[in-house]
Amino acid sequence: MMGNEFMLDIARIRADFPILNQSVNGKPLVFLDSAASSQKPLPVLQAMEEVYRYAYANVHRGVYRLSELATERYDQARAKIARFIGAPEPECIVFTRNATEALNLLAYAYARHFLKPGDELLITELEHHANFVPWQVLARERDIVLKFIPITAEGVLSLDALEALLTERTRLVSFAHVSNVLGTITDPAPIIQRAHQVGARVIVDASQSVPHMPVNVMEMDCDFLVFSGHKMLGPTGIGVLYGKRDLLEAMPPFLTGGDMISMVDFDGPQWNDVPLKFEAGTPAFVEAIGLGAAVDYLSALGMPAVRQHEQAMTAYALERLSEVNGVRIIGPTDSRIRGGVVTFTLDRVHPHDLATLLDAEGVAIRAGHHCAQPLHIRLGLNATARASFYIYNEPADVDALVEALYKAKLALRR
């Protein structure tokens, strides 16, 4: 049922996204793939264009006005992002290319430095490849024991299994706050508390949570947290690693070269202070400024309102999709524990074929394994279809998806 739970002014928001005002195959575009990458509002595009037009110069290196202005805006973006996730200081924010690079940075600069053969590392069956493959490589190279927290039949993590898996040899736990496939929202508190009790550090992959709901790293008490800018209205090529400052200071650099050194001579280098120690070379400062503008945009809407809107969208989508014979919804059916993602299959139709048929109706969804093949193996599926929502989606988009599904069924006589 639709009601006043849709609190955002969607018409006003959509006006900020010119890309949505177009047709695909002669039909109005219905974009339902924001879990992969979100669209960008005009304030983000304008902020980046303004830098390129009027304030572009390399940061941290020039004493002239343009460089100082670019550096100031770059530093302001770092401070905005720190405030957005409740970090205690901007120095806890490391800019990376994306969440994948941030996780690889941790695998190399933290895990390879502090874990030793026989130590144990826990991840979950829900993980994106970015939070799966780096740990598999590490386990093989360093004789680390990799364990997996299983999911229940409802698609939520089994905390009972977590208790059995945690041991005195557990050194690292890494998990997704929200699954990019099932949409499952995992309460981080019990995992982080239990992990800390056995002396393990905790990494939270917040790629699907920071863009969609309030996240506070101090309240969460995670040791590290990662997310990507392009999933939260920002540009590609910019991601964020949050880390507790003492841990960042204890880690060696990931990459070496310019800007991550304080001094270098013929005897060797001295590393810069955090976070610059982890930001070798010319940074993606224009993209960081764009991400800062995206944070401003989301902050103006209010993250509780963003979450409320997406929960309402998800509840409506679950209701409407359940009306379509042959549709099987994968994952939790309770929108209170599900992010703005609805993954499903249609009987006897491959998800890739389904996505192609929906595209003919102007409806853009994702089909495949969504960079989570182990989870699909666990579910006994080769691929799934996924519709994901964001601030610019409205109930009419769900209606268009359902109508397109009926047309696909008719075309295939299913």
Q: Is the peptide bond before 28 cis (omega within 30 degrees of 0)?
A: no
* Residues labelled as active-site residues: 371
Whether residue 1 is predicted with pLDDT greater than 80 in this model: the reply is no
> Which of 213, 192, 196, 218 is CA-nearest to residue 204?
192
Q: Does domain 45-300 have CATH number 1.10.8.60?
A: no
Residue 343 is inside which H or E element, if any?
A: strand 341-346
> Which of 321, 295, 40, 296 is CA-nearest to residue 183?
321
Q: How confident is the model at residue 61 (pLDDT cuts 50, 70, 90)?
A: confident
Name every residue whose Cβ is closer than 8 Å to that of residue 48 and which is 6 or more positions away in sequence. Answer: 235, 286, 287, 289, 290, 293
> Taking a C-beta distance cutoff of 8 angstroms, is the pair 17, 31 a contact?
no
| Per-residue pLDDT, 4 | 57
The residue type found at 212 is H
Structure-block tokens of residue 91:
């120095």
3-state secondary structure of 110: helix
> Taking a C-beta distance cutoff of 8 angstroms, is the pair 414, 354 a contact?
no
The residue whose two tokens read 């736990």 is 173
> Taking a C-beta distance cutoff of 8 angstroms, is the pair 386, 3 a contact?
no
Mean pLDDT of 167-189: 98
**Annotation: CATH topology of 10-31+302-412:** Aspartate Aminotransferase, domain 1 (3.90.1150)
| Per-residue pLDDT, 367 | 98
| Per-residue pLDDT, 62 | 83
Q: Is the peptide bond before 275 cis (omega within 30 degrees of 0)?
A: yes
DSSP state of 337: G
The Cα 225–Cα 294 span in angstroms is 19
Domain layout of the chain by residue ranges: 10-31+302-412, 45-300
The Cα 222–Cα 214 span in angstroms is 15
> Taking a C-beta distance cutoff of 8 angstroms, is the pair 333, 318 a contact?
yes
Residue 408 is inside which H or E element, if any?
A: helix 395-412
Q: How confident is the model at residue 250 (pLDDT cuts 50, 70, 90)?
A: very high
| 311-363 pLDDT per residue, tens | 999 999 999 999 999 999 999 999 999 999 999 999 999 999 999 999 999 99
Structure-block tokens of residue 336:
């209170």
| 69-79 pLDDT per residue, tens | 999 999 999 99
Whether residue 254 is predicted with pLDDT greater than 60 in this model: the reply is yes
Whether residue 163 is predicted with pLDDT greater than 50 in this model: the reply is yes
Mean pLDDT of 388-411: 96
pTM of the model: 0.96
| Per-residue pLDDT, 6 | 66
The Cα 252–Cα 261 span in angstroms is 12
DSSP state of 18: G
Residue 354 is inside which H or E element, if any?
A: helix 351-359
- HSE-CB for 246 with a 13 A CA cutoff: 2
Q: How confident is the model at residue 177 (pLDDT cuts 50, 70, 90)?
A: very high
